[in-house]
Amino acid sequence: MDLSEQAENIKRISGVDTKKCLRCGKCTASCPNYEDMEYHPHQFVYFIENGYLDRLLKSDAAFRCMTCFACVERCPRDVKPAKLIEAVRLTLVRQKDSNRLKPYDIIENLNADLPQQAIVSAMRKYTK
Amino acid sequence: MQRIGVFICWCGSNIAATVDVKKVAAAALNEPGVVFSADYQYMCSASGQGLVKDAIREKGLTGVVVCSCSPRMHEATFRKAAESCGLNPYMVEIANIREHCSWIHKDVAEGTEKAVILMRAAVAKVNLNQSLVAGKSDVVKRALVIGGGIAGIQTALDIAEAGYEVDIVEKKPTIGGKMAQLDKTFPTLDCSACILTPKMVDAAAHDKIKIYSYSEVESVSGFVGNFTAKIRKKARFVKEDLCTGCGLCTEKCPSRKTPNEFNEGMNTRSAIYIPFAQAVPKYAVIDPAACLHFKTGKCGLCERTCDAKAVDYNQKDETIERKYGAIVVATGYNVIKLDNFGEYGYTENPDVITSLELERIMNAAGPTGGALLRPSDKTHPQKIVFVQCVGSRGQRPCDKPYCSKICCMYTAKHAMLIREKYPDTEVYVFYIDVRTPGKNFEEFYRRAVEQYGVHYVKGQVGKVAENAGKLRVYGSDLLMNEQIVIDADLVVLAAAIEPDESAKKIATMLTTGIDTNNFLTEAHPKLRPVESATAGIFLSGVCQGPKDIPETVSQASAAAVKVIGLLAKDQITCNPCVARSDELLCNGCSSCEKVCPYGAITYIDKEVNDHGKREVRRIASVNEAVCQGCGACTVACPSGAMDLKGFTNKQIMAEVDAICR
């Protein structure tokens, strides 16, 4: 798949229509993990619509998203940037040898405060 | 047998590019009754109409079919042409081969086939057409204006100046509407009250204008030129003929904790109150929900205080019935409720306010006497953040999809006024787009930026949170591509505007159209912007769509002109296509009476001659002046007795047969 096909695929699997974006930036204004992300929610929308997907694929911004859905909740146009970020993440982990979390890594990081739910969702998020 | 002429219009290339007009003209000659056919480039032009007129005269036509655009465009044109050479105008039918055919087809063969079928149906109908004569009905020379804001006031003043009577019905105790609440107006920054109150006084003093304040329109019946409205005058518990508006009662009233509507609830008022100093009419009104006398049966202080003996606790609502020739809807707007916008913290934080609340804070008659003080601790805010497009241009359930149009300009106004009066204040405006079309509007906005140093930030605010006595505002600065955080003292939200909740009820009452956002629909978005689709009902101000004051006043005057044009006529021509009941078929079941939206059908006992058998029967009778020809009764009638002139069941069936042939 070339980049434009990949961008189309990301839009298709996320169900996001990037053309609905009003360019208001409310998603980025709402993002609690702004400091930690190289690219911000509004840039995911803009880059995918305008052919700059390669930058997103080279960055780990998609993995820094905390999936808190603040951007989805507050977007006045119902664009759902977090869904788009999720689709970029899926595109990356589905590539060969791209699992970001291996089961035996979990054992090392286990501690009493870590909820089981977090482990399950981390496996879903970082692996195929 | 009719002698029918068929005329096919090319409409330039609009029709001729998709329909083979020559073929349609040739096919017409094979239809029963058709004695002549012709095609022409522009049938609606003077020479095109000449073609029709000549044929009527020379060929002795008794019926005409014009295959052209929608009858909404040119039916009247061709009927007039026919009438000018002695043919009854209702012997003319239009086959719409533009909107219904050429514009929606690409293939010439298919388009032509359909055009022939549409022509055939129209010819079949004309074969059964009968001459109809339109009746006349008198015009009541008085207009009703619903809503007493600037739109209603301007419309009423213009109608009254032309010499016609006007009644303004306003649901609040005073006229003035939203404009009375504003401090200054853009782009000239003149004081809103200073330009509005003279108009309010003019309206009250005009001998042709009658103001029903604190009143609502309950019901409307009738039709263009002859409406009857029931107006409910709510009890003020103060006699209008005695009250002098001195305000002594409002000072003595011990119940003083009701939020003051005029100041957007930012201070309180007494139970007996006068909305504001320049109220028109200036009579006190008792709010029974707050009054101690109504709650406990005691007190009575206002009654004892009033020297004029105007207080009357036993006053009751009163219903008045008045006749009108025309009705203007000017119900205006409200700012949306912000309960569902949790991200801005409007309901939790007193220092997050709407622009209309800021308008009251800035006003000398407002809760702070005109000093810019924030509501929580009454201190002067050093840093103020304005947020644009709050609830406008969105798609969430709490959002409005449209642009509220006035916010960019009033925000620039607020920012400018604050920087002018308090130069030490830092002002930020978060915007998505700055929209300033209008005379001197862009210049006004640029002045806010260039002369007054207002910081315009391209981006939206995502969150406002209370933080150590300040408001932490998280916004994005898209030109910097950064999230920015501002610790502000006051946040002002430019909340979307929506039609007043009464608009929906009134539209239903007047059987006129309303769109998905509850704005009333104009008859044509470009060419008939102040008329509704219902004859005799006109639109003025924001009830039709978001507008600023200059636009509202222009539209209000335009609506007045339309009303004057109607009231200037002594009689208007009625639509002859009305219902008719066949007394021999009618079984007196009342089905038609129940469905008639205009109350045009009554039942009478009449002696009929049923094939030699004479008897008195209960039968439907149609008031032709009231019937609007909607056809609901013809569908409801179980015995087929009801028919619509010009659209009889026979004619419709003939059209269907011709299409299916």
pLDDT in tens, B602-641: 999 999 888 888 999 999 999 887 788 989 999 999 999 9
Select from B69, B92, B126 the last residue of a domain: B126
Is B296 near chain A, with CB under 8 Å? no
Pair A74, A125 in one domain: no
Query: What pLDDT is stored for residue A100 in this prediction?
Result: 86
DSSP codes of every residue in B607-620: EEEETTEEEEEEEE
Range of A104's domain? 99-128
Give me the interface pTM, i.e. the ipTM: 0.91
Spatial contact of B214 and B203, defined as CB atoms under 8 Å apart = no
How many domains does chain B divide into?
5
Pair B281, B325 in one domain: no
d(Cα B341, Cα B420) in Å, to the nearest integer? 31
Query: What pLDDT is stored for residue A21 in this prediction?
Result: 97
Query: What pLDDT is stored for residue B641 in this prediction?
Result: 94
C-alpha of B29 from chain center: 47
Confidence of residue A89 (pLDDT cuts 50, 70, 90): very high
Spatial contact of B496 and B344, defined as CB atoms under 8 Å apart = no
Pair B371, B494 in one domain: yes
Burial class (CB in 10 A: 0-12, 13-18, 19+), B561: middle
Pair A22, A73 in one domain: yes
Is B403 near chain A, with CB under 8 Å? no
Pair A15, A43 in one domain: yes
Interface probe for B, chosen from A19, A26, A68 (most Cβ of B below 10 Å), is A26
Cα of first residue to Cα of last residue in chain A, in angstroms, is 18
Pair B563, B511 in one domain: yes
Interface probe for A, chosen from B395, B430, B460 (most Cβ of A below 10 Å), is B460
Which strand (E) or helix (H) includes residue B653?
helix B649-660
pLDDT at A109 over 90: no
Pairwise CB contact (< 8 Å): B483 & A31: yes
Query: What pLDDT is stored for residue B610 in this prediction?
Result: 87
How many domains does chain A divide into?
2
b/e A4-22 (16+ beta carbons within 10 angstroms → b): eebbeebbeebebebeebb
Pair B94, B178 in one domain: no
Q: What is the mean pLDDT of chain A?
A: 93
Task: Compute chain A's Rg from CA coordinates.
Answer: 15
User: What CATH number is attached to the domain comprising A69?
Assistant: 1.10.1060.10
Query: What pLDDT is stored for residue B293 in this prediction?
Result: 96
Pair A56, A75 in one domain: yes
Pair B366, B469 in one domain: yes
Is B478 near chain A, with CB under 8 Å? yes
SS3 B5: strand
Q: Count of alpha carbons within 13 Å of B69, Cβ hemisphere only?
A: 14
Residue located via tokens 């006398």: B293
Sign of the torsion angle spanned by Cα atoms A84, A90, A95, A100: positive
Pair B26, B87 in one domain: yes
Is B459 near chain A, with CB under 8 Å? yes
Question: By CA distance, what is A33's nearest residue in B?
Answer: B483
Among residues B598, B639, B649, the alpha carbon closest in space to that of B619 is found at B639
With a CB cutoff of 8 Å and minimum separation 6, the contacts of B472 are B464, B465, B466, B485, B486, B487, B488
Range of B624's domain? 579-645
Query: What pLDDT is stored for residue A79 in this prediction?
Result: 96
Spatial contact of B123 and B31, defined as CB atoms under 8 Å apart = yes
Is B458 near chain A, with CB under 8 Å? yes
With a CB cutoff of 8 Å and minimum separation 6, the contacts of B80 are B89
d(Cα A72, Cα A81) in Å, to the nearest integer? 6
Query: What pLDDT is stored for residue B661 in this prediction?
Result: 87
Is B588 near chain A, with CB under 8 Å? no
Has residue B653 been placed in a domain? Answer: no
Confidence of residue A97 (pLDDT cuts 50, 70, 90): confident
Residue stretches of chain B with pLDDT short of 70? none
User: What CATH number is attached to the domain comprising B468?
Assistant: 3.50.50.60
Pair B481, B338 in one domain: yes
d(Cα B593, Cα B88) in Å, to the nearest integer? 31
Pair A87, A106 in one domain: no
Choose among A42, A73, A76: nearest Cβ to B394: A76
Pair A16, A69 in one domain: yes
Pair A54, A103 in one domain: no
Both structure tokens of B530:
């102040």
Select from B102, B126, B150 the last residue of a domain: B126
Task: Compute chain B's Rg from CA coordinates.
Answer: 31
Pair B461, B362 in one domain: yes
Has residue B133 been placed in a domain? Answer: no
Pair B537, B594 in one domain: no
Query: What pLDDT is stored for residue B597 in this prediction?
Result: 79
Query: What pLDDT is stored for residue B72 in this prediction?
Result: 85
pLDDT at A114 over 90: no
pLDDT, mean of residues A86-95: 93
Our CA-based measurement puts residue A29 at a distance from the nearest CA of chain B, in whole angstroms, of 4
pLDDT, mean of residues A10-18: 96
Pair B476, B510 in one domain: no
Pair A18, A73 in one domain: yes
Query: What pLDDT is stored for residue A126 in this prediction?
Result: 87
Pair B34, B57 in one domain: yes
DSSP conformation class of A36: G
